[in-house]
Amino acid sequence: DTEVTQTPKHLVMGMTNKKSLKCEQHMGHRAMYWYKQKAKKPPELMFVYSYEKLSINESVPSRFSPECPNSSLLNLHLHALQPEDSALYLCASSQTAGTGVYEQYFGPGTRLTVT
């Protein structure tokens, strides 16, 4: 299986809701990433997990809470979001950097709308 899957495909939530985005891969990759992509813009890195530990947090507001429960799963918990958080949220995975640099495999994304 060489795909990264993301659920749900679309999510509409109010500013007081709590929801979660899910990402899964079964390629044995030990690095997983969350990106945010606004319309007509490149993806912006949010978080990186390496061996299930948070390696990078790009100063993301605390209303976004990542979680990596095991090597195949990555969650993004959402709470008290703002309308400007509406975007496409992409998950990606790769082999760990180690002594090499590896390509990232991207999921199809979750289209989030905050009302």
Partner 1 sequence: AQRVTQPEKLLSVFKGAPVELKCNYSYSGSPELFWYVQYSRQRLQLLLRHISRESIKGFTADLNKGETSFHLKKPFAQEEDSAMYYCVLTSGTYKYIFGTGTRLKVLA
Site string for partner 1, 62-81 (x = CB under 8 A): --------------------
Q: Which is nearer to partner 1, 81 or 107 (CB)?
A: 107
Stretch that binds partner 1, among 16-24, 65-73, 78-86, 90-98 (CB under 8 A): 90-98
> Own/partner pairs for 19-23, CB < 8 Å, 24+ apart?
19/77, 19/78, 20/75, 20/76, 20/77, 20/78, 21/75, 21/76, 21/78, 21/89, 21/91, 21/110, 21/112, 22/73, 22/74, 22/75, 23/73, 23/74, 23/75, 23/76, 23/91, 23/107
Stretch that binds partner 1, among 8-16, 21-29, 61-69, 104-112 (CB under 8 A): 104-112
Among 29, 43, 78, 89, binds partner 1 (CB under 8 A): 43
Interaction of residue 28 with partner 1, rule CB under 8 A: no
Residue 47, both tokens: 């978080």
Which residues bind to partner 1, rule: CB under 8 A?
Answer: 31, 33, 41-45, 48, 50, 55-56, 90, 92, 97, 100-101, 103-104, 106-109
